[in-house]
Each structure stands twice: as structure tokens, then as C-alpha cells.
């Protein structure tokens, strides 16, 4: 490829796709394709041409286009969405960003394209999401509103991106007594998650039973994480066959996190893709895929459910620690202080251990029967004794044993994390080793994917 055919320029980039396209194809392949092509011919392609845009490439159910200006791209996107009939099954999500692109033989590449694609993923069905660069150029120049969604962490994008939801001023519902607002359910005190029905990407309706079973096994596995509130499957079944935005699910069900996934089958093999999303920000916290053989379906479902739960637990705890760290110090619960203590404790040093212990004392002062804080305070005392950091080793030893026993009594042996810490402390300080092995066995029985319990 010659150098003369490579160009770098600033462009307004639009990425769009059809929400729930795979589901529509599975339900009615020929009908969906016919409607998709008709909307492309009558709406999408003419709008792009009208506003001086160029379709760079198509991606089956979506497309990538570039425009000379942000104003052109936004006018195109809003007219495009306005022209789609409300009852049409072909509903679009659009993301727009302005950035540098590299042009090679008509195609465009670069960070700008990647950001636009991630913005499209944040858009609600029938909606438009734009970056701060687009907002800065367009605000006040078009009959649009921009809802600030804050800085978002986008997958494979190194820096946070400030995101706005664009919409028509005229599309806002008028205020008045006729507007019925259904309040969102209150969130529980502890972290909460909803597991959505997985999407069938295999094109085989017979695989629905496998997807439903997979979701049910994951919900059961997550329910064994005692500090996590898991929404029942009956509540999430309403989203089957839909492609809802994680933020909407969070509002509807009163949860902080959403797990979504898809299943793709090829002969006797299956690939399951999952991602964990922060329902407040829409940020992708974790994503992975799992491959397996369909020779023993139930064994495969068990294995993947345990792997997903085992990976999600530390990912959620890390997210909760970040969330707690952002809260004002005047508004901290025993749970928040416990999370802060964990973030201080690792990596382990004398100073960090002593600092974590002081924070845990604060948590215990708020809730004297909070098992996790009691058990980790016992761990801190043990650390000081074994590493020679305690001014009075025997006093610290007795305090560790006392805290461990209080933690055990407070949790009534149903918290795997507390059981693991208690068994570790008491075994190291000379309690009956058989009884302690019994405690750790119970911890692993309660949560088979509990990594720290397995290690102990």
C-alpha cells in the first residue's frame, strides 16, 4: 500500500446498529431483512446523503459513517430517528464522536472510531449518545437537549469519556398532572445485581432452554455470595427478547449492577459471552467469554456458572471499594468503612495494617455485630503478631481470638468470607484444627467459587 493513499483528518463519526437484531432474525429472518433493507433505502441512506455524510462500511445490522461537521452528523441522526415509525421493530441506537481518523483506501480507523462505537453501545433503543466534543460544538446550535451522563469508562479506551444523551426539545413530555411517574424501587443496603436473559446468537430457537438454564445457574451461584443482593429470575424474565439499556434495568429493578450475556452455538460447541455493567454509569466493569462442549449440558452450565460467580465477586468488590471511596466521609456506613479498610490493607505493610485496623474499629463502633469488619480486624491483629509489629503480642493475640469468635457468633456461620477468616485465625492460634477445617469446608460449601476459601 503506497503512502499517498493514507490520510489523517478530523471527522465527525457516526456508528449505528439495530437493537435486538439477532433476536429479530431468529424470530423472522426474511421479514426482518426485508424491513431492515426498506428502512435503509427509504430513511437511513437518504438522510446520510442529505447531510453530506458518507457510509464508510456496513456491519450486517449496523453501519459506520463520517461527516464533515458535528452539526451535519447530529441533524442526520435526529432526523433519522424521527423518521422511524414508533411501531417499527427496526429500532436504532446511534453514537457520535469527533476525532482524528486515519483513512486507508476509503476505510477509516483510529481512536475516534472506537469511541463512537462505544457511545453507540451506551445509547438506549431509539436514542443517540454523543461525546463532550460533539456537545461542545453543537450545544445552542440545534433544537436539541443534552443530558449529561458524566464521565464513562469505555471498553478498550484508555481515558474516561464524558457522555451526553441527545434528544429533541419537542420530544420531552410536558409537565402536568396527566404525567404518571412510577417511582423506582428502593435499592437494598448491600450491592445488588440483576442477571438478564441471555441473547440467542446461534439462530437456533431450540437453544432457548440452554440459555434459560445457564442464566438460572448463574443466579444460583451468585446468590451464594452472601453480601450480594441478587434479583430473582422471575423479575428479569420480563426483559427476554429485548435489548434494554443497563441504566434502565437499574432504574426498573433498583439494582446497582447488571450482568448480560449471549450464547452462540456451532455444532457441538458453544460460546457464552458475558459482561458486567455499572447500572449508574453504564460503564463496562468486566467482560469475558467461555467455551465448552454440549456433550454434557448440565455439567457445562455448572462449570460456567461457578467461573462467572468466582470472577464477578472480586470485580464487584473492587467496584464497591471505588464507589465507597468517592462518598463523603460524613456519610459512611459500617459497610463503607469495611470497604475502605480492605483498600488500605492491601498491599500489606505495617503502616497499612495498623491504618486498616483503625478504620475497622470505626465500622465496629457503628455496628458491633458486623461480622466482616470483626473478622478482618482479627486478621489485622494476627498480621501484627506474626510479623512482629504488635507492641504487646499476647494482647493482640487475645484480641484476634476474641474478634474472630464475635464474628462467628454474629454471622451464625452463614457468611463464607467470615468463616474463612475465622477458621484461619483460630487455626493459627491453636484452636482445634478439625473444627477449623469444618468451618472452611462449610465456607466452600456455601460458595463453591469462593477463591480465598479454597486457598485457605
- Domain ranges for the chain: 3-169, 192-324, 334-455
Given a cut of 50, is residue 176 above it in pLDDT?
no
Radius of gyration over every alpha carbon of the chain, rounded to an integer in angstroms? 26
Contact between 339 and 321 (Cβ < 8 Å): yes
Name the residue with higher pLDDT: 176 or 79: 79
Contact between 260 and 121 (Cβ < 8 Å): no
Identify the band that residue 194 occupies on the pLDDT scale cut at 50, 70 and 90. Answer: very high
Identify the band that residue 405 occupies on the pLDDT scale cut at 50, 70 and 90. Answer: very high
Work out the average pLDDT over 160-165: 88
Locate cell 433476536: which residue? 23
Rounded distance between C-alpha atoms, residue 426 and residue 400, angstroms:
8
Identify the band that residue 184 occupies on the pLDDT scale cut at 50, 70 and 90. Answer: low
The kind and range of the H/E element at 273 are strand 269-278
Of the chain, the percentage scoring pLDDT greater than 70 comes to 92
Identify the band that residue 225 occupies on the pLDDT scale cut at 50, 70 and 90. Answer: confident
Residues 6+ apart with CB under 8 A from 89: 24, 32, 35
Cα–Cα separations (whole angstroms), residue 189 to 16, 277, 284: 38, 19, 23
Q: What is the pLDDT of residue 169?
A: 61
Given a cut of 80, is residue 364 above it in pLDDT?
yes
Omega of the bond leading into 347 within 30 degrees of 0 (cis): yes
Q: What is the pLDDT of residue 142?
A: 84
Given a cut of 60, is residue 178 above it in pLDDT?
no
Strands 128-131 and 92-104: parallel
The domain 3-169: what is its CATH number? 3.30.70.1230
Given a cut of 80, is residue 158 above it in pLDDT?
no
* CATH architecture label of 192-324: 3-Layer(aba) Sandwich (3.40)
Given a cut of 70, is residue 7 above it in pLDDT?
yes
Residue 276, SS3 per DSSP:
strand
Work out the average pLDDT over 143-156: 82
Contact between 161 and 306 (Cβ < 8 Å): no
Cα–Cα separations (whole angstroms), residue 402 to 145, 312, 442: 59, 32, 21
Strands 257-266 and 199-200: parallel
Backbone angles phi, psi at 379, to 5 degrees: -60, -40
Total count of residues recorded for the chain: 456
Rounded distance between C-alpha atoms, residue 300 and residue 290, angstroms:
10
Residues 6+ apart with CB under 8 A from 271: 263, 264, 265, 289, 290, 291
pLDDT per position as a tens digit, 303-359: 888 889 888 888 898 888 887 777 666 657 888 899 899 989 989 999 999 999 999
Q: What is the pLDDT of residue 440?
A: 92
Identify the band that residue 445 occupies on the pLDDT scale cut at 50, 70 and 90. Answer: confident
The fold for domain 334-455 equals 1.25.40
Q: What is the pLDDT of residue 30?
A: 86
Rounded distance between C-alpha atoms, residue 105 and residue 3, angstroms:
11
Residue among 268, 316, 327, 256 at smallest CA distance from 294: 268
Q: What is the pLDDT of residue 412?
A: 64
DSSP string for 76-130: HHHHHHHHS-TT-S--EEEEEEEEEEEEETTEEESHHHHHHHHHHHHSPTT-EEE
Given a cut of 90, is residue 419 above it in pLDDT?
yes
Amino acid at each position: 500500500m503506497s503512502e499517498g493513499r493514507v490520510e489523517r483528518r478530523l471527522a465527525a463519526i457516526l456508528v449505528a446498529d439495530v437493537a435486538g437484531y439477532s433476536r429479530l432474525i431468529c424470530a423472522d429472518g426474511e421479514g426482518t431483512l426485508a424491513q431492515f433493507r426498506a428502512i435503509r433505502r427509504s430513511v437511513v441512506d437518504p438522510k446520510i446523503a442529505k447531510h453530506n455524510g458518507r457510509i464508510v462500511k456496513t456491519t450486517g445490522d449496523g453501519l459506520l459513517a463520517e461527516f464533515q461537521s458535528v452539526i451535519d452528523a447530529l441533524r442526520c441522526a435526529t432526523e433519522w430517528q424521527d423518521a422511524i415509525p414508533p411501531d417499527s421493530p427496526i429500532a436504532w441506537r446511534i453514537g457520535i464522536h469527533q476525532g482524528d481518523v486515519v483513512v486507508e483506501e476509503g476505510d477509516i480507523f483510529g481512536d475516534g472510531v472506537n469511541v463512537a462505537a462505544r457511545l453507540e453501545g451506551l445509547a438506549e433503543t431509539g436514542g443517540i449518545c454523543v461525546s463532550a466534543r460533539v456537545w461542545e460544538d453543537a450545544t445552542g446550535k440545534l433544537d436539541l437537549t443534552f443530558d449529561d451522563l458524566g464521565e464513562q469508562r469505555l471498553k478498550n479506551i484508555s481515558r474516561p469519556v464524558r457522555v451526553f444523551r441527545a434528544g429533541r426539545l419537542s420530544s420531552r413530555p410536558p409537565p402536568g398532572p396527566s404525567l404518571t411517574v412510577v417511582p423506582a424501587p428502593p435499592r437494598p443496603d448491600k450491592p445488588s445485581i440483576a442477571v438478564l436473559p441471555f441473547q440467542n446468537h446461534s439462530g437456533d430457537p431450540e437453544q432457548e432452554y440452554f440459555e434459560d438454564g445457564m442464566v438460572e445457574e448463574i443466579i444460583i451461584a451468585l446468590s451464594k455470595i452472601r453480601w450480594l443482593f441478587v434479583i430473582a429470575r422471575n423479575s428479569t424474565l420480563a426483559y427476554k427478547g429485548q435489548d434494554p439499556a443497563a441504566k434502565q434495568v437499574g432504574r426498573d429493578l433498583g439494582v446497582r449492577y447488571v450482568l448480560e450475556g449471549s450464547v452462540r452455538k456451532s455444532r457441538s460447541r458453544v460460546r457464552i459471552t458475558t459482561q458486567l455493567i455499572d447500572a449508574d454509569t453504564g460503564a463496562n466493569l468486566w467482560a469475558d467469554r467461555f467455551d465448552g462442549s454440549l456433550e454434557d449440558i448440565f455439567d457445562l452450565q455448572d462449570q460456567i456458572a461457578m467461573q462467572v460467580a468466582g470472577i464477578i465477586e472480586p470485580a464487584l468488590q473492587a467496584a464497591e471499594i471505588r464507589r465507597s471511596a468517592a462518598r463523603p466521609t460524613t456519610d459512611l456506613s459500617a459497610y463503607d468503612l469495611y470497604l475502605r479498610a480492605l483498600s488500605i490493607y492491601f498491599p500489606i505493610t505495617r503502616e497499612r495494617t495498623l491504618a486498616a485496623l483503625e478504620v475497622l474499629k470505626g465500622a465496629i463502633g457503628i455496628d458491633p455485630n458486623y461480622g466482616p469488619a470483626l473478622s478482618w480486624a482479627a486478621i489485622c491483629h494476627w498480621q501484627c503478631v506474626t510479623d512482629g509489629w504488635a507492641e504487646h503480642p499476647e494482647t493482640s493475640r487475645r484480641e484476634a481470638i476474641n474478634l474472630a469468635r464475635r464474628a462467628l457468633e454474629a454471622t451464625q456461620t452463614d457468611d463464607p468470607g467470615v468463616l474463612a477468616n475465622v477458621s484461619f485465625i483460630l487455626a493459627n492460634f491453636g484452636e482445634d484444627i478439625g473444627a477449623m477445617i469444618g468451618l472452611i469446608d462449610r465456607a466452600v460449601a456455601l460458595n463453591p467459587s469462593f477463591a480465598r476459601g479454597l486457598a485457605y
